[in-house]
Structure 1
Amino acid sequence: MNSSYLNFKDKHILVVGDVMLDRYWHGGTSRISPEAPVQVVKVSNIEDRPGGAANVALGLAKLGVAVTLIGVVGKDENAEVLSRCLEAEGVRCRFVYSDRLPTITKLRVMSRHQQLIRLDFEEREDSLSQNDAVAAMVKECLPNTDAVIYSDYAKGCLADVQTLIQLSNDAKVPSFIDPKGDDFSIYKGATLVKPNLLEFENIVGKCHSVKELEEKAKALREQFGWKALLVTRGEDGLILLSDNKAPFSLATAAKEVFDVTGAGDTVVAVLTAVYVTSQRFIDAVEYANQAAGYVVGKLGTASINAEQLDAIMYQRNRTTNFGVLSPEKVLEQIKLAQISGEKVVFTNGCFDILHPGHVAYMKQAKALGDRLIVAVNTDASVKRLKGEKRPINNLEHRMAVLEGIGAIDWVTWFDEDTPKEIIEALSPDVLVKGGDYTIESIVGAEHVLSHGGEVKVLTFVDGYSTTSIIEKANL
């Protein structure tokens, strides 16, 4: 995805949901209270931050998106504080004021970067009397909106979320849901729904494998008519189900988890902002994953701006998207390439001593598609195939040399005697083999052909052979 997609300034996103004020009291602790066996915190700093749906709106504003926020607050001082915090960052607040409910406030007492206690100030109604007022505001804002995020914290603002989704659909505005609760039927017809694993399993039951998770996710998406379902799995990454495409998985981008507060808000904010610019779920998920990895490394409710996100993605693309990758990482990149309409070519071999014939072969292979993968036999595999004196160069060295060939995008490895398993796992668009083969005799050909791919046989350049080089050198 081109970095120009990060210019969100002409986009307007509506956020609707449960807004709250996150208040932090910071101070040192040096003694125990004489009144009770508790620490005494000498408060030296008070910090107010938007929370809940308000944090989603703040995250969008940090990206440079034009944002309108609709939520229910009390007629109290905390509502004014929340409004000032948001307006200062460019968020347009359209609050519905309640005579009975206070502004939801979460007070955290912090010392030495540790949370000692959290105090929640809130009251709930089973049926929020402001439903009609919220719906009227949403309907008024939709004509000038590129997308709407419904951020549900089960506090009541989205008690009638199905009506709001229908309003979005009628206006042809995509709706992105950060869900809550044990009934996902209320989100029927949404564009994308983003539960975490706990929320997802609360609906479909425990998933004992990734395959089971993907099957249940597919069924749930189809049941409720969502264009996409994104399950966030913490340290296990993300899984996206969209349209009729194969499930797309991404490993977590987090290097160190310091505080997960607000990570879900960041994911849905970045996800929506990128989608309205690229119109591709795969781009949106990639960027959202990187943004989440960034904010969980920060203390408290954190945000990321467009420049930071652009820099992270540039560094990631520059350092990890090409070259030597594990089979699992290569699979991620293949899915991205294929969804982008790129044709992926696969070949394999020992490549013990690289010679000009190999280089010419790689160039021919790359010309058959957009991306070229080369899978290399491990040292143990080479020994089984070629004898105890082989390989001459170990796997790391062989892959490093291949990585330097400009025609090759990805280099990976396999330990089996044949590449059958890795071909079936990666499912390339084109399978290439060099030498005197018939298509029917090529390992993996049946799998590739059955998935609509192609199998090609290329002729090696005459005069070059790894075996003859070794014999001449008396190795």
Structure 2
Amino acid sequence: MQLSMPYFEQAKVLVVGDVMLDRYWHGASSRISPEAPVPVVNISQTEDRPGGAANVALNLAALGCQVTLLGVIGLDEAGMVLEQRLQSTAIVTDFHRSLSKPTITKLRVISRHQQLLRMDFEDRYTWEDSCALAARVESHLDGVDVLILSDYAKGSLQDCQALIQKARSHNIPVLVDPKSSNYQRYQQATLLTPNLHEFEQVVGNCRSERELLDKAREMIDSLQLNALLITRGEQGMTLIRPGHSELHLPARAREVFDVTGAGDTVIAALSGALAAGETLPESVAIANLAAGIVVGKLGTATVSAPELRWAIYAEQGFECGVVTEEQLLLALADVRANGEKIVFTNGCFDIIHAGHVGYLEEARKLGHRLVVAVNSDASVKRLKGDGRPINTLDRRMAVLAGLEAVDWVIGFDEDTPERLIDTLKPDILVKGGDYREDQVVGAPIVKTYGGQVKVLSFFDNCSTTSIVNKIRKNALFN
């Protein structure tokens, strides 16, 4: 499957559900309490993060989507803090304030990156609170691409059918992250995203892959769903659709650090990609990549657009190596956002020798990323004459891409890389050989925007031309 970064900024998503405040108390623990066999934690840092449906909204906003969030909060300090945290984002909020119930709050005590204790402060919201929230939805449906129902079974979504039918009347897909064991309330939703444990709580234990798929298809038929996505932890995720073979995607996490909020990330990335115009299989694949990123973070977390773009690059094999100009521009935008310096050099690189390798290693040390631009075959012939290049462009770029010092390799057809330099605007332009700084092609361009120009010497007194001449000379005498 060929993935590309969705145009998330075009996606408009409405999130309705159980919002909550996730609190984290961090501190060192070095002794056991004399009062009871429990660790004593000396709290040194506290942190408040929006959780539940609010974390879904944060994940969407982090990807660049246009997000509106509806939920229920209490008339309390936790509700005020939750609103304040969300005010610093681009998320539009419209909360109903319960007169009788508190804001759902989860407090976690953490020491040495390990969660020692979680305390929940909650009381299920009333039917009146849920109806008041549902009444707010209609005014937010215009122009919405996807509606997410983030149901943590805390009482905010007691009449899911009313919301699903409202969305259907506007031709808006409805994606549900279900925590309730009564899945009849989600009838005619577009897609459900239960994890395996949640799914088996409803349909019973699945003793085989075939049984899981059969029960999934039975659920789709009985609930009149368009699809079902079952997230399966270290076993990845499986998409089931009527009339299609199942699509299984393996887990992408290199190291699982914390699964808190992973489901929020999955439904956010999936919904955002769908809203941006991606197909369902592509959207699921993107959500799978996002999940692999977020479980490597501690606590309730989000995945940024640059992080997801890098994961897509890695999936397609161009997070480094040979790239097109469009791919390189996207990659450079992301590394610049992280404050990394870009080094650029160019050449024919017809026969890679020790001098090239040493020179490129030195060039890489000047910054964080090294771009190597390579003359096309036609360009080399114009510069070096008939009989050159010895190696074609694809072979020259493949060798360069295999060097540890090189991040990206790109070809160009002009005699000089000036247009490419002007387009990419590297922080540091590097050239090897006996040049003065003012003789380096592209130097004036780089200096106009405050970049640097460096001249490095080739190592071992090597040159491609001398190697080629030596080979030809030996060929004459043999």
1:84 aligns with 2:90: no
User: Once the two structures are aligned, what percentage of the paired residues are identical?
Assistant: 50
In structure 2, the CA distance between the partners of 1:279 and 1:243, relative to structure 1 (3 Å rule), is: farther
Deviation, 1:32, is: 2.9
Deviation, 1:116, is: 1.2
1:163 aligns with 2:157: no
Task: Give SS of 1:130's match.
Answer: helix
Q: Is the 8 A contact 2:237 2:249 kept in 1?
A: yes
Deviation, 1:309, is: 0.5
Query: Matched residues in 1 for 2:312 and 2:195: separation?
Result: 23
Look up the match of 2:146. Answer: 147
Deviation, 1:257, is: 1.1
TM-score normalized with structure 2 length: 0.65
Q: What one-letter code is carried by the residue in structure 2 that aligns with 1:90?
A: A
Look up the match of 1:230. Answer: 229
Look up the match of 2:352. Answer: none
> Which shows bigger deviation, 10-19 or 131-140?
131-140
Q: Is the 8 A contact 1:62 1:89 kept in 2?
A: no
Aligned Cα RMSD in Å? 1.7
Look up the match of 1:252. Answer: 251
Look up the match of 1:429. Answer: none
Query: Matched residues in 1 for 2:194 and 2:155: separation?
Result: 18
Look up the match of 1:117. Answer: 117
Q: What one-letter code is carried by the residue in structure 2 that aligns with 1:118?
A: R
Query: Matched residues in 2 for 1:40 and 1:173: separation?
Result: 51
Look up the match of 2:34. Answer: 34
Look up the match of 2:392. Answer: none
Look up the match of 2:74. Answer: 74
Deviation, 1:35, is: 3.2
Look up the match of 1:435. Answer: none
Q: What one-letter code is carried by the residue in structure 2 that aligns with 1:91?
A: I
Q: Is the 8 A contact 1:3 1:310 kept in 2?
A: no
Look up the match of 1:102. Answer: 102
Query: Matched residues in 1 for 2:114 and 2:191: separation?
Result: 35
Q: Is the 8 A contact 2:229 2:240 kept in 1?
A: yes
Deviation, 1:278, is: 2.6
Deviation, 1:253, is: 1.0
Unpaired runs of 5+ residues, structure 2, are: 320-397, 399-478
Q: What one-letter code is carried by the residue in structure 1 that aligns with 2:83?
A: S
Q: What are the within-5 Å matches in structure 2 for residues 160-309 of structure 1?
A: 160-309=159-308
Look up the match of 2:46. Answer: 46
Deviation, 1:33, is: 2.8
Query: Matched residues in 2 for 1:227 and 1:279: separation?
Result: 16
Look up the match of 1:470. Answer: none
Q: Is the 8 A contact 2:194 2:231 kept in 1?
A: yes
Deviation, 1:148, is: 0.8
Q: Please give the per-residue CA displacement for 1:212-267, whole angstroms capped at 9, x wherever unaligned.
A: 11111112112111111101111111111124111111111122111100000000
Q: Is the 8 A contact 2:10 2:276 kept in 1?
A: no
Task: Give SS of 1:6's match.
Answer: coil
Query: Matched residues in 2 for 1:171 and 1:148: separation?
Result: 11
Q: What one-letter code is carried by the residue in structure 1 that aligns with 2:250?
A: A
Q: Is the 8 A contact 2:12 2:275 kept in 1?
A: no
Q: Please give the per-residue CA displacement for 1:120-160, whole angstroms capped at 9, x wherever unaligned.
A: 111124x4212222122111101131111000000000111
Q: Is the 8 A contact 1:29 1:40 kept in 2?
A: yes
Q: Is the 8 A contact 2:266 2:291 kept in 1?
A: yes
Q: What are the within-5 Å matches in structure 2 for residues 325-364 of structure 1?
A: none
Q: What one-letter code is carried by the residue in structure 2 that aligns with 1:170?
A: S
Task: Give SS of 2:57's match.
Answer: helix
Deviation, 1:3, is: 6.7
Query: Matched residues in 1 for 2:241 and 2:219: separation?
Result: 12
Task: Give SS of 1:132's match.
Answer: helix
Length, aligned pairs only = 320
Q: Is the 8 A contact 1:6 1:306 kept in 2?
A: no
Query: Matched residues in 2 for 1:231 and 1:319: separation?
Result: 29
Deviation, 1:58, is: 0.5
Query: Matched residues in 2 for 1:270 and 1:95: separation?
Result: 23
Look up the match of 1:317. Answer: 316
Q: Please give the per-residue CA displacement for 1:170-210, whole angstroms capped at 9, x wherever unaligned.
A: 11111100001221110001111111111111121211111
Q: What one-letter code is carried by the residue in structure 1 that aligns with 2:193?
A: K
In structure 2, the CA distance between the partners of 1:43 and 1:295, relative to structure 1 (3 Å rule), is: same
Q: Is the 8 A contact 1:41 1:111 kept in 2?
A: yes
Look up the match of 2:326. Answer: none
Query: Matched residues in 1 for 2:4 and 2:196: separation?
Result: 32
Deviation, 1:2, is: 7.1
> Which shows bigger deviation, 82-91 or 260-269?
82-91
Look up the match of 1:446. Answer: none
Q: What are the within-5 Å matches in structure 2 for residues 116-135 of structure 1?
A: 116-125=116-125, 127-135=126-134
Q: What one-letter code is carried by the residue in structure 1 that aligns with 2:127?
A: L
In structure 2, the CA distance between the partners of 1:3 and 1:231, relative to structure 1 (3 Å rule), is: closer
Query: Matched residues in 2 for 1:217 and 1:261: separation?
Result: 25
Q: What one-letter code is carried by the residue in structure 2 that aligns with 1:20?
A: M
Query: Matched residues in 2 for 1:39 and 1:207: separation?
Result: 39
In structure 2, the CA distance between the partners of 1:136 and 1:31, relative to structure 1 (3 Å rule), is: same
Query: Matched residues in 2 for 1:49 and 1:230: separation?
Result: 27
Query: Matched residues in 2 for 1:79 and 1:139: separation?
Result: 24
Query: Matched residues in 2 for 1:3 and 1:209: separation?
Result: 30
Q: What one-letter code is carried by the residue in structure 1 that aligns with 2:116?
A: L
Q: Is the 8 A contact 1:59 1:304 kept in 2?
A: yes
Q: What one-letter code is carried by the residue in structure 2 that aligns with 1:66?
A: Q
1:8 aligns with 2:8: yes
In structure 2, the CA distance between the partners of 1:305 and 1:3, relative to structure 1 (3 Å rule), is: farther
Query: Matched residues in 1 for 2:277 and 2:5: separation?
Result: 7
Deviation, 1:317, is: 1.4
TM-score normalized with structure 1 length: 0.65
Task: Give SS of 1:129's match.
Answer: helix
Q: Is the 8 A contact 1:6 1:310 kept in 2?
A: no
Q: What one-letter code is carried by the residue in structure 1 that aligns with 2:136?
A: M
Query: Matched residues in 1 for 2:37 and 2:176: separation?
Result: 44
